Chain A
Amino acid sequence: QQQVKQSPQSLIVQKGGISIINCAYENTAFDYFPWYQQFPGKGPALLIAIRPDVSEKKEGRFTISFNKSAKQFSLHIMDSQPGDSATYFCAALNTGNQFYFGTGTSLTVIP
């Protein structure tokens, strides 16, 4: 059973556009929600993260929006650049120190 559901599977965006990736979860025990960026041949790199007591967090061009009641969170990449082309994973951490990852979104930013 997939604990964290991620969509879309792939995304193509024009340079300068907004990329939006969505995740949903069921387990209310999750208390930390990070996003990771992974380039081919590399391990995932922490991009930005949020706790459930905050509805939005912004770091540069990256913003997480969090809806606790709907059990959904999303990543927004503003002014998307070709260098942002990568696979993005959402994740959720439970109190047992176990991270659950989404299935990933392959983002392609067209120049």
Chain B
Amino acid sequence: ETGVTQSPTHLIKTRGQQVTLRCSSQSGHNTVSWYQQALGQGPQFIFQYYREEENGRGNFPPRFSGLQFPNYSSELNVNALELDDSALYLCASSLEGGNSYEQYFGPGTRLTVT
């Protein structure tokens, strides 16, 4: 059984650019959630995908969007990057939507916006 993996590990972008982050869920997990973790803070929920449909969204603007693929891997896309978007982006996979209690996190992608 493989764990949750994310790519890339680190990324540097310029303000106004667009970025795509990728996540491969733990084997058998069909639900993925994305979080933004600013330095020294707890993770903040961006959104969740279950069976390729958005299944809940936190307080993030529409320029944060996502996709989940049939193999349950997923992407987080951020348009028009702002300096405040600099953070660690975490994805977490879980088994079965609706009651996604036990979430397993990947190591994260560190995004720096200059």
Binding site for B on A (CB under 8 A): 4, 6, 32, 34, 36, 41-46, 49, 89, 91, 93, 96-104
Contact B108 A43, beta carbon cutoff 8 Å: yes
Given contacts A96-B56, A97-B55, A97-B56, whether A46 and B43 have CB atoms under 8 Å apart is no
Contact B104 A46, beta carbon cutoff 8 Å: yes
CA A36 to CA B108, docked complex, whole Å? 15
CA A32 to CA B107, docked complex, whole Å? 23
The dominant DSSP class at the A interface is strand
B6: nearest residue on chain A (CB-CB)?
Answer: A43
Contacts of B87-108 to chain A: CB distance below 8 A:
90, 92, 97-98, 100-108
Q: Which of A4, A46, A104 contacts B103 (CB 8 A)?
A: A46
6 closest Cβ contacts across the A-B interface?
Answer: A101-B42, A43-B105, A97-B56, A44-B105, A98-B45, A101-B43
A4: nearest residue on chain B (CB-CB)?
Answer: B42
Q: Which of A6, A43, A101 contacts B44 (CB 8 A)?
A: A101
Given contacts A43-B90, A104-B40, whether A97 and B102 have CB atoms under 8 Å apart is no
Given contacts A43-B107, A45-B105, whether A98 and B56 have CB atoms under 8 Å apart is yes
Q: Which of A34, A41, A89, A99 contacts B33 (CB 8 A)?
A: A99
